[in-house]
Amino acid sequence: MNENPVAQAKKQIFFSLKLAAVMIGTGLLLSLARKQGLIDGELVERAMGVAIGLALAAYGNAMPKMLYGPPPRSIHHATLAQASVRVGGWTMTLAFLVWAALWAFAPRDLIVTGSLAVVGASATIILGYTVWKYVASRASRSD
């Protein structure tokens, strides 16, 4: 937290741009391989699904290390924010690793449904945890 906020923002933007470049590069290489006849269309779709899942898992892993917004009003608020972001990062990382595994190995009819279910469950866990911590915080403050 001692780092300059502008430098921290530049790091976050650079990290995001690197992930985007990897995904675009993967897409271009897969497209080239398909045009050369080395792979078929289904493998291109699956490989891009894996690449997207891994890139988003990397972003989820980086989430807890990123600074967001102005400094918290108190140590209590900082603790709550950090806990919520940490749980969010963990669940997003796990969800997108499962997403990548589904795109790599699951039968075709299970991929979309399974991917959406995993990401939906992750979002539900994040929202539920945040609401739970907020309600618990309000209850402990009103004593």
Q: What is the pLDDT of residues 7-54, one digit of tens each?
A: 878 888 899 999 999 999 999 999 999 999 999 989 999 999 999 999
Mapped onto helix, strand or coil, the DSSP state of residue 107 is coil
Torsion angles phi and psi, residue 70, rounded to 5: -70, 165
Q: Which pLDDT value is given to residue 76?
A: 78
User: Per the confidence metrics, is the pTM higher than 0.75?
Assistant: yes
Q: How confident is the model at residue 136 (pLDDT cuts 50, 70, 90)?
A: confident
- The four Cα atoms 16, 19, 24, 28 give a dihedral, to 10 degrees, of 160
The domains of the chain are located at 5-141
pLDDT band (50, 70, 90) for residue 3? low
> For the residues 109-117, what does the mean pLDDT come to?
94
**In the prediction, which pLDDT does 35 show?**
95
Using the predicted structure, report yes or no on whether residue 142 has a pLDDT greater than 70. Answer: no
